Structure formats: structure tokens, C-alpha cells
């Protein structure tokens, strides 16, 4: 038997050196700065309120009254501001009616909105659409500086109640005082039902009228103060 042996001889190869390749790095473009307003937007007279799940931001300090008519809501508030909305969710830009103190209350009847001012000279303004308003030259009857509390349209007439007085109007423009008394009696609101107008005037007294012109006052011992009413 013959044995064969083989010898393999290897030669070392020279190692090649490689420089690692750095991946390219993309530099983001420098964003342009937005233009800065020369005058910061004013946040004066801005309030927040919520309707359902929707947060609303509208002007004026306080909204005091709201009414619906001619397929639109109309609101009135302090510093002469008014506003309107078709659906009660989306509102127009508030605007101020010149020459008013604080619009206190608004009612709708006979095709128009009628709003009244809080204090003397007790201005009145009207609107058919809740957007364009006309301040009337006629004022609400007032005694000294007694303020009005509410205006309502009940049974075909406008009625405004005030500290110690009640005034009525058939058109919302020309007004007549129908009842007045001392400072003790302060009707806050008024309603109509079952053929009569009814309002609470404080001290347990209730005023009633069948026509809005002639009023009778009666005290109910179980009542101390009545501040509101519904219809």
C-alpha cells in the first residue's frame, strides 16, 4: 500500500484597508417665520359660553336677553351689543348700537324684535331681521332713574315691567305707563295665561290685569318674593 501525503501551503494576503462610508444626512429646510401682526388682536369684551357640546366665543361682556322670530335668534347685551343666529349655534359678529347703555331685554311680536335699555333714558330699538336695528326716538316712560327689568309680547301687546311701573305698547314704539307705585314694588317679569296678565312685585304681592291697562294688586301671605314667571 502506498501512502500519499499532500502538503498545502497557503500564503498570507495583504489586508486592504477600507474607510467607512458615512450615509448622507439630509438637513431640513429652515421654516419661514410667519409675519408678526403690527398690532396684537384685541381680546377685550370677549366671553365664552357653551351651547350643547359646542364652545362659543362671542363679543360683549354679558348677554342679557334673547328672542326668536322671523326664523332667527336675536340677543342683546351690555355696552349696546347685539347679535343674531339662524340656528342658535353659529353667530354673526357682534356689533354695538350707538347711544345705548346696556340692552336689557328683547321680545318678538307683530313681525319685529323690540329691545329695551336698562336705565334712563330707557331707549327702545326695533328690528325685523335681528341684524339691522333702529333706535326709536320715543323712550319708555320712566320715573327718576328707575330701571326696567323685562319686556314681553303677550296676548297681542308689548309689556315692559320696571321698578314700580308697568308700560304697554301695541307697536313696540309708542309706550304708555299703565301702573306705578312706590319703590317697594319691583316687578321682575310678566306672563299671560287663562285670560290675564300676572306679575309678582315683591313683598308677597301679585299684580293681575285682564287687558294690560287696569291692574289689581293682591297680597298672598305665603309668598315673600316672586322674581320670575313662565308662559
| CATH classification at residue 124 | 2.40.10.500
Q: Are residues 170 and 223 in the same domain?
A: yes
Q: Are residues 83 and 129 in the same domain?
A: yes
Q: Are residues 160 and 231 in the same domain?
A: yes
Q: Are residues 56 and 106 in the same domain?
A: yes
Please tell me the predicted confidence (pLDDT) of residue 81.
92
Q: Structural domain of residue 195, as residue ranges?
A: 146-231
28-32, 117-121, 178-182, 210-214: range with lowest mean pLDDT = 28-32
pLDDT band of residue 227 (cuts 50, 70, 90) is very low
Judge whether 157 lies within some domain: yes
Q: With H, G, I as helix, E, B as strand and everything else as coil, classify residue 75.
A: strand
Q: Are residues 190 and 216 in the same domain?
A: yes
Mean pLDDT of all residues in 99-119? 91
Higher pLDDT, 22 or 228: 22
Judge whether 208 lies within some domain: yes
Q: Are residues 66 and 101 in the same domain?
A: yes
Alpha-carbon separation of residue 185 from 73, 138, 164 (angstroms): 32, 25, 5
Judge whether 88 lies within some domain: yes
The predicted model scores a pTM of 0.71
Q: Are residues 135 and 150 in the same domain?
A: no
- Total number of domains constituting the chain: 2
Judge whether 16 lies within some domain: no
Judge whether 35 lies within some domain: no
The CATH number that applies at residue 211 is: 2.40.10
Average pLDDT of the residues of the chain: 80
**89-98 b/e (C-beta count within 10 Å ≥ 16 → b):** eebeebebbe
Q: Are residues 62 and 122 in the same domain?
A: yes
Q: Are residues 51 and 135 in the same domain?
A: yes
Q: Are residues 159 and 214 in the same domain?
A: yes
Phi-psi region of 53 (alpha: psi -120 to 50; beta: other; left: phi over 0): alpha
Contact (Cβ atoms closer than 8 angstroms) between residue 152 and residue 190: yes
Q: Give pLDDT tens digits for 163-210.
A: 888 999 999 999 999 998 866 677 889 999 999 999 887 777 889 999
Please tell me the predicted confidence (pLDDT) of residue 100.
75
- Which among 147, 167, 142 has a CA at the least distance from the CA of 157? 167
Judge whether 186 lies within some domain: yes
Judge whether 31 lies within some domain: no
> Over pLDDT 90: what percentage of the chain?
43
Q: Considering 139, 166, 187, which residue would you say is the last residue of a domain?
A: 139
Residue 134 has pLDDT above 70, yes or no: yes
Residue 1 has pLDDT above 70, yes or no: no
Q: Are residues 126 and 169 in the same domain?
A: no
Judge whether 188 lies within some domain: yes
Q: Considering 105, 139, 173, which residue would you say is the last residue of a domain?
A: 139
Q: Are residues 153 and 132 in the same domain?
A: no
Residue 88 has pLDDT above 50, yes or no: yes
Q: Considering 100, 116, 139, which residue would you say is the last residue of a domain?
A: 139
Amino acid at each position: 500500500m502506498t501512502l500519499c501525503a499532500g502538503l498545502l501551503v497557503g500564503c498570507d494576503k495583504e489586508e486592504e484597508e477600507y474607510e467607512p462610508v458615512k450615509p448622507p444626512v439630509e438637513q431640513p429646510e429652515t421654516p419661514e417665520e410667519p409675519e408678526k401682526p403690527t398690532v396684537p388682536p384685541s381680546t377685550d369684551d370677549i366671553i365664552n359660553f357653551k351651547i350643547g357640546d359646542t364652545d362659543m366665543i362671542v363679543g360683549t361682556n354679558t348677554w342679557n336677553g334673547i328672542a326668536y322670530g322671523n326664523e332667527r335668534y336675536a340677543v342683546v347685551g351690555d355696552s349696546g351689543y347685539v347679535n343674531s343666529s339662524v340656528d342658535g349655534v353659529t353667530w354673526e359678529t357682534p356689533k354695538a348700537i350707538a347711544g345705548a347703555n346696556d340692552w336689557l331685554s328683547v321680545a318678538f311680536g307683530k313681525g319685529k324684535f323690540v329691545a329695551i335699555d336698562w336705565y334712563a333714558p330707557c331707549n327702545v330699538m326695533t328690528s325685523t331681521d335681528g341684524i339691522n336695528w333702529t333706535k326709536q326716538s320715543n323712550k319708555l316712560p320712566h320715573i327718576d332713574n328707575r330701571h326696567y327689568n323685562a319686556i314681553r309680547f303677550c296676548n297681542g301687546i308689548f309689556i315692559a315691567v320696571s321698578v314700580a311701573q308697568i308700560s304697554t305698547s301695541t307697536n313696540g314704539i309708542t309706550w304708555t305707563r299703565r301702573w306705578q307705585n312706590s319703590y317697594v314694588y319691583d316687578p321682575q317679569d310678566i306672563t299671560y295665561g287663562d285670560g290675564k296678565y300676572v306679575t309678582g312685585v315683591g313683598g308677597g304681592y301679585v299684580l293681575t290685569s285682564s287687558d294690560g291697562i287696569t291692574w289689581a294688586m293682591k297680597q298672598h301671605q305665603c309668598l315673600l318674593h316672586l322674581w320670575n314667571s313662565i308662559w
